Structure 1
Amino acid sequence: MHVIVSSAYALFMMTSYAVVNGNRIGYDDKSHHTGPTMKANETEWETKAKLLLKGELARRGVTYAQLVEKLAAIGVVDSEPNIRNKISRGKFTAVFLLQCLTAIGSDTVRL
């Protein structure tokens, strides 16, 4: 990752805050986490995304095989095992989520 900041601001960041074990970086009066804490939060979001999509599929009674057909109808070609794996891991893009929701006719979701 590349970050461009003014030299004066960079000096402020370097003299005011420290990196501790490579896991926490403090700047802008906020703590920004990397490492294990970030991974735990990421896993929680993946679980929420997975449950949201699975819930919408279940509400509409759509199987993975039917989802493959519905996605193909809107121009998204993917295999059933690949879709099943993406959803079960919860590791998919926002684009994939929107494609699935559009394909199954879901225009409103509750978070």
Structure 2
Amino acid sequence: MAEKTDWEMKAANLLKAELKRKGVTYAQLVEKLGEIGIVEREANIRNKLSRGKFTAAFMLACLEAVGSADLRI
């Protein structure tokens, strides 16, 4: 299995931290994404975040879904 690059790790950690700050579980994220018209499964989200392989569009959708207006980088 290929290792995560530094950038993939940073992106995944940033998104995980934001979910933690907002108190949103992966199951809740699935529901919130559904509310904005994005269909995902909890297992898919878990895999994306554990691998660190997801698009910027996915990250932005997640941030929008949980109501994040600011990011700490």
Structures share fold, TM-score greater than 0.5: yes
Are residue 66 (structure 1) and residue 28 (structure 2) matched? yes
Does the alignment pair 1:88 with 2:50? yes
| Structure 1 segments of 4+ aligned residues over 4 angstroms from their partners | none
1:108 maps to 70
How many residue pairs get matched? 72
Compare CA radii of gyration and give the structure with the larger one. 1
- Identical counterparts, % of pairs: 64
Gaps of 5+ in 1: 1-38
TM-score (norm 2): 0.93
In the alignment, structure 2 segments of 5+ residues that lack a partner are none
Structural RMSD (CA): 1.5
> Which structure has greater helix proportion?
2
Matches of 2:49 and 2:17 in 1, distance apart?
11
CA apart distance, 1:88: 1.0
